[in-house]
Amino acid sequence: MAEAERIIGTPEVGDDTQPEPEAALPKGRRRIVALLVVAILAYLLDLGSKMLVVAKLEHQAPIEVIGDLLKFEAVRNPGAAFGFGEAFTIIFTCIAAGVIVVIVRLARKLYSLPWAIALGLLLGGALGNLTDRIFRSPGVFQGAVVDFIAPAHFAVFNLADSAIVCGGILIVLLSFKGLDPDGTVHKD
């Protein structure tokens, strides 16, 4: 019991010491705040970049950023990664909504800052692409995602996709290190 209390930051009974100023929020709440800050930042960067691309780059020639290696090119993608599954836009919308629900449910048990960052990236990216699928043409739950980062010999993607991939890589690394979202470490 004492170990669980140490992990979640619950004071022992009869402990009259005052919490330190930085411990004003319980450890779990601070992790949720971190998750939300990362998610909001990822979402707003994605949303802002897509608004800029639609306003300034759509129906224009691609902009060469690094010669032929990297261009900014407005592309509407109704499918998943690499344009696969264009006929299944509604399924990708449901998957994104499901990911968001899972992250929100998992956040209640979150006591690890690295996991908060990883899940925040996933949440922000999923919200960014879900916003496109709900509000962009051709219609609700059928919208095409705005992609614009076009590296040579690779698929065109956006900042939401980047956030999702970075969050996924971080989750894999945390799993290999044995760190769980609740802060426990497995030494297998």
**Eight-class DSSP state of 144:** P
pLDDT tens for 45-87 read: 999 999 999 999 999 999 999 998 999 999 998 877 666 666 6
Is pLDDT larger for residue 155 or for residue 18? 155
Average pLDDT over residues 160-164: 95
Average pLDDT over residues 152-180: 94
84: number of Cβ within 10 Å: 10
Q: Pick the catalytic residue: 15, 46, 68, 147?
A: 147
What is the CA angle 103-105-107, rounded to 5?
A: 65
- Nearest-angstrom CA–CA distance, 130 and 110: 24
Spacing of C-alpha 99 from chain mean position: 10
| pLDDT value at 143 more than 80 | yes
pLDDT computed for residue 46 by the predictor: 98
Is 16 catalytic? The answer is no
Where residue 168 falls among pLDDT bands split at 50, 70, 90? very high
Q: What is the pTM of this model?
A: 0.79
- Nearest-angstrom CA–CA distance, 96 and 112: 23
| pLDDT value at 152 more than 50 | yes
pLDDT tens for 95-126 read: 888 888 999 888 888 889 999 999 999 999 99
Q: Pick the catalytic residue: 16, 161, 180, 188?
A: 161
| pLDDT value at 26 more than 90 | no
Is 147 catalytic? The answer is yes
- Nearest-angstrom CA–CA distance, 115 and 148: 28
| pLDDT value at 2 more than 60 | no
pLDDT computed for residue 24 by the predictor: 57
| pLDDT value at 89 more than 60 | yes
User: To the nearest whole percent, how much of the chain has pLDDT over 70?
Assistant: 81
